[in-house]
Amino acid sequence: MAIECLVLGAGQEVGKSCVVVSIGGKRIMFDCGMHMGYLDGRRYPDFSLISGTGDFDSALTCIVITHFHLDHVGALPYFTEVCGYQGPIYMTYPTKALAPLMLEDYRKVMVERRGEEEQFSYAHIVECMKKVTPIDLKQTIHVDKDLQIRAYYAGHVLGAAMIYAEVGNIAMVYTGDYNMTPDRHLGAAQIDRLHLDLLITESTYATTIRDSKYAREREFLKAVHKCVAGGGKVLIPTFALGRAQELCILLDDYWERMNLKVPIYLSAGLTIQANMYYKMLIGWTSQKIKDSYTIRNPFDFKHVCSFERSLVNAPGPCVLFATPGMISGGFSLEVFKQWAPSERNLVTLPGYCVAGTIGHKLMSGKPTRIDLDKDTHIDVRCQIHQLSFSPHTDSKGIMDLVGFLSPQHVILVHGEKPKMASLKEKIQSELGIQCYYPANNETVFIPTTQNVKVDATKKFIKSCSGGDSNIALDNPCMSTCSLSGYEISELVRDEKLAEGILMMEKTKAARIVCEDELLQILGVEQHTIQFAHCFPVDLSNRKQLLHHSGGCSRQSTEEASSHYVVAKDINPSTSYTVLQLLQEKLRNQIKCKYILMASDHLKIDSVQIRVCLDEDCPYRLNQNRSSGGTTIYFCCSWSMRDEKLAKKCLSAIKDLDLAVQEAPRTE
């Protein structure tokens, strides 16, 4: 059995997260995002790879959304209302509350302000959200009788969750975006120690180890204070939810301590509404916020107010949070056009910017001019300041999570290809875990192993132990006992000796029985097909053999060396000696430790070998005997299931003369 992972988005890139995982016959879509850097067909995942006919309800068991960022939820209304998916959708309560705000704000920016063709409408967003089932943290949801999912706290943004999925004994975690360190308004990611076949983790900062939070905060505050003290304006392009609240708390506290009077603005509408939800969902924030909430709501900012468009060119310094982040369009782009030409102004980019956005161009090296299209360009003379206030974990955080969970396999998504390659090598070399980083539209097959706990009969366990007297199974009331695959493997000394039959009956636990026990259970008479073969083997050094066995007859040595041996020439001692020699040869040649040595035969499973003293043996082949050596007949019998073993034994017997000679054979 294998886990099949189809990466439809965030494969060797950051944007449009979407991974479809087939696990135990179930198919789950994790996230359904859009790419903020594209306006063509690359904006959405290629949903045709899920179902060529468009029957997505049959192709998917459910969809799980990790958080409300557009690169994780932006394509959901299009997939449900335009493509037609009507199946189950799960997300946390805050995500269900906040995702519609993000989606509608994006729709307005793209359609109403930029005049682009509408991909989905406001009505589509409303209908899409009606299909969503909200879930709470650590709440186990049974999607059906086989599949269960569970959400764990991920930090990152309000309501973000890591998703645990289990089908039978196969388990995996999809992290979405997460943060392993707490910030001012959210706690660090938290997850139980789980036994996982697969971990799919983001890798945005695959090779970056960030400075301490306090050092980054000091640097940010110093840059902002310096700009406004010189009469400049500070533009902070950020998404309405997440970094806006984090930085507002930081600046509001700093303004209070420094007694600054410069206005701090939030772009009107969405962010104000978002702050209202933060006040309502205080239980999803950090412990520090929860503790201070009883005295004062930290989201009631003293020095932050809403911004009117008429204030864009107003004289004097100010700080403005404008959406969307990355300056990918909307109001942040309008303000950037106005403020970028002035050297006194500052644009500070607090997080990751996707390739293709203006924010990414600014982070890649300070440009002096940005072309929006063939007719529009922006002269860039303002200061550019980049700070890692991203809510994503860094390289150390990723390694800590992978090491803590210790999955069998890791898949990296949501990162840049060269950095993902470096992180893959680090995970494999330091943690010894197989790691992959597939590109978009590639499929990875992850092998899995299943341990099933079954009952086993006392007779089967004794057969596994190879007759080990230390196995205490003397309770007469115990006909079966319960063992896992690991415990059985500890008992078994030789795979051949562990043969049994797995019985699975309705309403009863699975159990392993021996072959003859099965016949008794079924009430069936045993029928055994036996094969037998009696054939001669020439032993040239008869004198040595008889001397070795102490069974030399009164015939002269010369006479004995010129005739073949018949029944009267072989006494029990001679027969036993031959079998001893054969036993040693079989141990070396077929690597079998458990050969039963009786007085007149050898036994290996159903294969039985004896020196044949019956001249009228019905299984004897008529073969010409040699005239210059000793000929002994061996009779070998076996059942059909041990045919391969029997062939190995026959081969060893026919070469036995090589084992008893000290000198080369004389012709």
Catalytic residues: 202
Residue 480 makes CB contacts below 8 A (sequence gap 6+) with 455, 456, 457, 458, 511
CA-nearest of 122, 111, 105, 129 to 39 is 111
Please report, for residues 141, 563, 613, 652, 662, the alpha-carbon distance to residue 616 in angstroms, rounded to integers and kept in the order given.
Answer: 75, 19, 9, 24, 33
User: Are the C-beta atoms of 400 and 201 separated by less than 8 Å?
Assistant: no
For 585-588, the CB contacts below 8 A with 24+ separation are 585/652, 585/655, 585/656, 585/659, 586/649, 586/652
User: Are the C-beta atoms of 600 and 580 separated by less than 8 Å?
Assistant: no
User: Are the C-beta atoms of 67 and 90 separated by less than 8 Å?
Assistant: no
| Pair of tokens at residue 86 | 């009507």
Residue 15: Cβ-neighbour burial (10 angstroms; 0-12, 13-18, 19+): buried
Q: Count the residues in the chain.
A: 667
Alpha carbons 265 and 316: distance in angstroms, whole number: 13
Helix (H, G, I), strand (E, B) or coil at 418: helix
Helix (H, G, I), strand (E, B) or coil at 547: helix
| Virtual torsion, Cα 194, 488, 24, 448, nearest 10 deg | 70
Please report, for residues 229, 321, 346, the alpha-carbon distance to residue 226 in angstroms, rounded to integers and kept in the order given.
Answer: 5, 17, 10
* 608: enclosing H helix or E strand: strand 607-611
Residue 187 makes CB contacts below 8 A (sequence gap 6+) with 153, 155, 285, 286, 287
Please report, for residues 82, 501, 511, 520, the alpha-carbon distance to residue 523 in angstroms, rounded to integers and kept in the order given.
Answer: 61, 16, 18, 5
Residue 192: strand pairing partners:
none
276 Rama sector, left if φ>0, alpha if ψ -120 to 50, beta otherwise: alpha
Alpha carbons 603 and 597: distance in angstroms, whole number: 7
User: Are the C-beta atoms of 442 and 7 separated by less than 8 Å?
Assistant: yes
Alpha carbons 606 and 373: distance in angstroms, whole number: 84
Task: Give the CA diameter of the chain.
Answer: 131
Residue 132: strand pairing partners:
89
